[in-house]
Structure 1
C-alpha cells in the first residue's frame, strides 16, 4: 500500500523544506562545488527518491516528475546568486514551488533532526580529510628537513636551559612523531564521524521501513549510527568536541615549535633564523638593526586562534541537555578546523624558511657544558663508578669551569684529576681519575656523543635512517588513506547521481 498525502499529515513544514534542499543538489558535484548543507540536503532528497520509489514507499509513476523538481531546485541553487537554504524549514518552499505539494511525500520517516545531523557529519568528514591532507603536507616538509639535518648537531633544551647535544634531524623527527599521533587521531575520529544518522527521524526511529544502510551507502558513509537516540542527540554533540581536541593538539605542537625557535631569536647570535624577505621577517619601524620574525608571530597567533576556537564546542556542550544545538553550528566548527589547517600551512612556511647554521650551533654547544652528563655515563659504563658519584664529579667540573669562564674543550686535564680526587676522597672507588686525557676530551665532544648513542630511537645514523624510512612509509600510508576515503565518497555520490538521473530522465 502506497502512502497518501493524508497519511503524511503529521509531516512538519521543516521536514518538507529539507526535501527541497536535497533537491537542489540533484546534479553531479563538480570538483570545485561547495559541499555545504544545501548540497547534502539535495543528496539526501535524491537518495530518498531513488530508494523509496524502488521499495514501494513512493509511487514509481510519480518519481520522475518529483525528480525533475528536485533537480530544478538544485540547479537553480548552483547558479551564481542562487538560493542555497541550509535548513529543512527554509528549503522546502523552493521544492514545493518546483514540484508541487506531492514532493513532500519524500519526507516519509524523516526529520530535521536526522537530516541536519547527517549533513553535519558529512561536512565534518570532509573537513577532517582537509585537515589530514594539510597535516600530511606539513609533516612531510618536517621529515625531509630532518633528513637534511640528520647530522647537524645542535643544543636541545629542557626547562628553557641548554640540556644536551642532539641531531637537529632527530629533534624534528620527535616533532613528527607527535604529528603522526595526530594523524592517528584523525583516522580514529573519522571512523566515528563517518556514520550515517539518516533514517532515525527525531530520536527513536519511525514506523516507515526505511533502508538506512542503502541511504548511508549513497551518501558515502561507511556505517550507521546504530542507536536512533544516539544519532542526533548524543553523537552529533560528541563529534565537534572530539575534533576540537585534535585541532588543539596540532595547534599546541605548532606553538611549542615556534617558541623553541623564538628562544634562539632572542640571542645576539642565533644558530637558527628565518630567511629574510618573502614576508618571513620585517624591519622595525624605529630600530634599523631589528628583523622581526613576522612569520613566526603569525604562526603562533594562528595556533592560539585555533586553540581558542577549539574551546568553543567544549564550553557549548557543557551543562546542556542531550541534542541541543549549541555545539553543532557548522560554520563555527568549520572555522575551528580551518584555523587548524591555516596553522599547519603557516608552520609549513616556517619550516621552509628556516636558516640553520651548523657551525654556530656547534660553537654554542662547545661554549656550554651540555655534554657533562656523558662524563658520568662513561665513568659508570666503562669503569663501574656509581652514577651519583660520577654525576657529583661532573657537577664539580662544571661549577669550576663556570666560575673561571672555562669552556669544555679548554678544560685542563690536571684540574679534572684534582677535582675527581677531591670528590672521591671518601669513596671506596679510589681517587685517581680512570679516564685518560684523550678519553676525557672525546667524552665532551658533542658530535661524538650523538654519533655514539646506542639507544633505540636515538640520533645515531643507523637509527635515524630507520626512523626516517618508517616515518616516510607512515606518511605515504596516510596519503593513501586520504585518497581512498575521498574516492569512496566521490564514487558513492556518482552512483547516486547515475541512479537519480535515470529516474529523472523518464520525465522528459
Structure 2
C-alpha cells in the first residue's frame, strides 16, 4: 500500500485513552497560554500527563476509557493540582469529543475502502464495456445490456453512498469540547483553538445540542449510511447468486483461494462461499445499522443508549469489512461473454426492440408494436423457437392477426426480414442505443471518465481530512512537549 493511499492504516492506538490524552494536552497548553492555568504549575502537570500517556503506550499499560478512571492516574502522576485542567469541563463534553474523534477516523477508513471497491468496479466496467449480458427485472430476464453499463449503475449507487458519507463527516467533524454539560461554563474557554488542536473543522454551535442531541443523532445517521451500503452490496451479490442456480451460468467465482468450496456429499457442487460470507456480513451490517435507530428511539436527551463508541465502531468497521469482501468478489468473478450471448439468443430479451423499431422507423403506435412482439414471443415459446430461427413468414402472419385483433386496417409487416433479424440482435441493440446514460460506446466512454474523476476527487477529500487531523495532532505534540520539557 503506497504512502499516498488514502486508506493507509489509521494511527495505532487512537482509542478513548489516546483522545482523552489529546484533550488533556490541549487543555494544558491552551489554558496556560490564556491565563486559566498557573504557568508555574503547568510544566509539572504536563510532565505528569506525559508520564501517564507513555505508561499507557507500553505493553500491558493502563489505558482507561473514561474521564473518571483517567483522572486518578493523572493525580497520581502530577498531584491533585492536575485537576485544575478540569476547569469548565465535564465528562459529557469530553466523551462526546472522544466518540466523535474515533468515529471520524472510522469514517475515513470506511471512505477509503468504499473508494477502493468503487475503483475496482470502475476498472471492471471499462474491461466489460462491450460484454453483452442479460439483465433482469422482477427476477426474470428482461433486456440485453453491457455488463460494464450494469456495473456503472452500481458505481452510481456507491457514489451516492460516498456523498452521504461526506455529508455525515461534515456534521461529525465538529468539536463538542467546551460545552460542558448543557449550557457551557463561566470559564472563558477557547473552543475554537481546542477544535483546531484536535483536528476538527469547527465547533458544535449550540452547547445543549453538543452532548444531548447531536451525540445521539449521529449514530442513527451512521447506521443509515452503513445500511445503505449493505443494501447495495446485497443486491449485487443476489444477482450473481441467481446464476449459481443455473446448470450453465455465465458468471461465476473463480475456484480456489477461498472463493468456493466443494460440497461434503455432492461431488459436482462448488458452493460460492465468498458470496455467502459477504452477504452474511451485509446482513449483519444492516441489522446493526437499523439497531442504531431502535436504540436511540424514545429516550430523553442525554441518555447514553445509542452513544456507545464500540457499538458504533462495530457498524462502521463491519461496513468496511463488507466492502473489502465485495471488492474481493469483483476480482474473483469470471464472466463468459459467449455463454451470456447464448442465453440472450435463446430467450426473447430483445423483443422490446421490435416494438421500438416499428414505432421509431415506421410510426406504428407503440402498443400495436408491443402487442405484435408479445404475440411473436408467445408463439415462439409455445413452439420452442429461438429468436434467430423464427420464421419471417410467421412474423408476417402474426402481424396481420394483431392488426385484426386490434380492429386496425389490414396491412403488411413494415419491417423487412433483415430489419426484423437486426432488431433481435442484442449486440446491435446495445450499439444503437441513443439515450444519454445508455450503454452505447460513446456514453460508456463519457461515464467512465466521469467515474474516474469522481474517484480522484474522493481520494483528495480523504487525504485532505487525514492530513488535517495528523497535522493538528503533530502541532499539539510540539506545543505540549515544549511545556512538559520545562518541568
Is TM > 0.5 for Structure 1 vs Structure 2?
yes
Q: Secondary structure at the match of 2:485?
A: helix
Counterpart selection for 2:43 from 60, 64, 78: 64
CA RMSD of aligned residues (A): 0.9
Moved over 3 A (4+): 426-430
Counterpart selection for 2:113 from 103, 123, 134: 134
Find the aligned partners of 2:10 and 2:120 in 1 and give their Cα distance: 27
Tell me the residue number matched to 1:100.
79
Tell me the residue number matched to 2:14.
35
Q: Which has the higher contact order (CA 8 A, sep 6+)?
A: 2
Find the aligned partners of 2:210 and 2:11 in 1 and give their Cα distance: 30
Q: What are structure 1's unaligned runs of at least 5 residues? A: 1-29
Tell me the residue number matched to 2:334.
355
Q: Secondary structure at the match of 1:405?
A: coil
1:216 aligns with 2:195: yes
Q: For 1:294-322, what per-residue CA distance to the aligned partner results, in whole angstroms no more than 9, with x for missing partners?
A: 00000100100111111221111011001
Contact between 2:10 and 2:109, CA under 8 Å: does it hold in 1?
Answer: no
Counterpart selection for 1:495 from 472, 475, 479: 475
Contact between 2:353 and 2:423, CA under 8 Å: does it hold in 1?
Answer: yes
Q: For 1:233-270, what per-residue CA distance to the aligned partner results, in whole angstroms no more than 9, with x for missing partners?
A: 00001111101111001111111111100101100000
Counterpart selection for 1:464 from 444, 449, 456: 444
Count of matched residue positions in the alignment of Structure 1 and Structure 2: 478
Q: What are structure 2's unaligned runs of at least 5 residues? A: 1-8
Find the aligned partners of 1:133 and 1:149 in 2 and give their Cα distance: 24
Superposition TM-score, scaled by structure 1 size: 0.93
Q: For 1:137-167, what per-residue CA distance to the aligned partner results, in whole angstroms no more than 9, with x for missing partners?
A: 0000111011110000000000000000000
Cα offset, 1:61, TM superposition: 1.4
Tell me the residue number matched to 1:365.
344
Find the aligned partners of 2:54 and 2:303 in 1 and give their Cα distance: 32
Counterpart selection for 1:331 from 310, 316, 339: 310
Contact between 1:295 and 1:350, CA under 8 Å: does it hold in 2?
Answer: yes
Q: For 1:80-125, what per-residue CA distance to the aligned partner results, in whole angstroms no more than 9, with x for missing partners?
A: 0000000011111100000000000000000000000001111111
Counterpart selection for 2:298 from 297, 319, 343: 319
1:378 aligns with 2:353: no
Tell me the residue number matched to 1:21.
none
C-alpha spacing 1:94/1:258, structure 2 compared with 1 (3 Å): same
Tell me the residue number matched to 2:4.
none
Counterpart selection for 1:419 from 377, 382, 398: 398
Find the aligned partners of 2:223 and 2:411 in 1 and give their Cα distance: 59
Counterpart selection for 2:56 from 60, 77, 81: 77
Alignment of 1:80-479 (within 5 A): 80-425=59-404, 426-428=406-408, 430-479=410-459
C-alpha spacing 1:477/1:115, structure 2 compared with 1 (3 Å): same
Find the aligned partners of 1:314 and 1:431 in 2 and give their Cα distance: 63
